[in-house]
Structure 1
């Protein structure tokens, strides 16, 4: 039996809908579709690039809690409400994934809240050797 553990971000959506920000199953980390909401304030920017940046911060936090980083991501799925919004996000996405080159798909679809313009879902594999804990400041 493989170990299964959930990671919660504090998003009200997780409780209301009934899901986890991420699920660790063995050495695989499945990060749920993550939008640009700042979960501490439950606010979201109207700007798609700012939404992408916040979504990546949210994903990065889940990966960190799972003992991973963006370097461990093997698959990415981008969901946008408008295809014209994808290209402006490329520089932001390249900063996280440009050297890693995960398999990726972009879909245009409706999202759960009309304020949402960008959502990202990632799959990562935990590294064979645990990463050292960040140094205390």
Structure 2
């Protein structure tokens, strides 16, 4: 089984570069599906469910390398984003505006999903983490503006806080698409 890693997601590049494997930076040609770049990673297990290639892509965001995660992972027909916030170029955008932060986070998530071949209509689940009940309606309406016609299953949870105190919302997206 080959696991492709590397590359950047849409316009989300920045300091930190592509996802790193345990042996060092990954990038360049080969290894992953769809011309996304990256290199195979040895020793990452085979799925008992299918023989699909797993592709992991990073955005170069400030926490990915530090905390060891990818912006988006595609495994067969499933594509999943990490939690997306309104962090743009290492700074929180739309401070104090939950609706605008939601729209930005969704854009970032959809851009990441597009890098692995998913469209907004492929989104089947969203999870929204909101820092205050006062923001629930704004966040829900911003979510509806994008996903109203799609109607994925959704969960919205009020949490005590997020990594940056200026973040009001964090969103995860899951998409289901045809196998490669």
Question: More relative contact order in 1 or in 2 (CA 8 Å, sep 6+)?
Answer: 1
* 1:43 equivalent in alignment to 2:91: yes
Question: Does residue 138 of structure 2 align to residue 88 of structure 1?
Answer: yes
1:103 pairs with 2:161: no
- Once the two structures are superposed, what CA deviation does each residue of 1:31-60 show, in whole Å capped at 9, x if it has no partner? 11111111xx21112121221111011011
Q: Alpha-carbon deviations, 1:88-131, whole Å to 9, x = none? A: 13332112110111011100112122111100011101246x8x
Stretches (4+) displaced over 3 A = none
Structure of greater Rg: 2
User: Which blocks of at least 5 consecutive residues in structure 1 are unaligned?
Assistant: 131-137
Q: Aligned Cα RMSD in Å? A: 1.5
**Which residue of structure 2 lines up, in the alignment, with residue 114 of structure 1?**
165
Q: Decide whether the 8 Å contact of 2:72 with 2:81 is kept in 1.
A: yes
Find the aligned partners of 1:84 and 1:98 in 2 and give their Cα distance.
21
Secondary structure of the residue that 1:34 maps to in structure 2?
coil
Residue in 1 aligned with 2:80?
30
Please give the TM-score of this superposition, normalised by the length of structure 1.
Answer: 0.86
Which structure carries more helix by proportion?
Answer: 1
Contact 1:72–1:127 (CA under 8 A) maintained in structure 2: no
Would you say how many aligned residue pairs link Structure 1 and Structure 2?
A: 127
Give me the whole-angstrom Cα distance separating, in 1, the residues matched to 2:146 and 2:177.
17
Find 2:71's aligned residue among 1, 15, 21: 21
